[in-house]
Amino acid sequence: MGKNKLKRFAENAEFEHVFQPAFEEVSQDAFPLKGHWADFFGNVNPITLELACGRGEYSVGLAELYPQRNFVGMDVKGARLWRGARTAHERNWKHVAFVRQHIGQLHRIFSLADAIDEVWIVFPDPQLRDSKSAKRLTSPRFLSTYRRCLAPTVRMHLKTDSKELFEFTLETIEQQKLKVFHSIPDVHAAWPNHPELGIRTFYESMWLEQGRTIYYLCFELGTEPCG
């Protein structure tokens, strides 16, 4: 393991706003902040959750735009989320936190009591092979996972350079009869000055230089479909 990774892991362990619950704690549903995130933030402001946050660039970007909201980035890779955690630490932000854990354990980290009202999924792995479609973060399987701890009114934001993932998500939305707020096949052409969608991650900047199109969807999580 490289020295940089070890250094980042050590810093994550020291940050008061980074949580890395052990397997035993999660498996026993004993994570103390579940249902009590307001205690950590010291307020009952709504929470924006970024799933598969990577370097936390979107959590940080949104937190800068909306200091009156709370933000939690979640990713299984500690060396990645360190960057966002470090930025929040350097800026002394109290409205940003990060969780190192698998997204499949989301319901053991949060509950309906935690006032999450929107979720961002930004440039996730599109899992393009058909055999891996259940691993896509907007698949029916993952939507069911989210519904275990999030309200039906939660707004889901997907930003991706994958046309395949964009179309797959649209199909899922249609099958589950979910409410769509925005479906944009070229977000930077349609909304070039949108503050939230104008946040650029490292990879997005690189892909835009390569001429790739960026897709955007916003839809309501909804309830589990019947039948």
Give how far Cα 187 sits from Cα of 76, 170, 179, 191, 204, Å: 28, 16, 19, 6, 12
- Residue closest to 162 by CA, chosen among 192, 119, 199, 133: 133
Contact 60, 87 (CB under 8 A): yes
> Residue type for 63, please?
A
CA–CA distance, 46 with 114 (Å, rounded to integer): 8
161 catalytically annotated: no
**Phi/psi at 211 (5° precision):** 85, 15
Joined tokens for residue 136: 């896509």
**Order of strands across the sheet that contains 47-51:** 18-19, 96-100, 70-75, 47-51, 116-122, 155-160, 215-220, 180-184
Residues 29, 39, 117, 125: which is the catalytic one?
Answer: 125
Q: What residues act catalytically?
A: 125
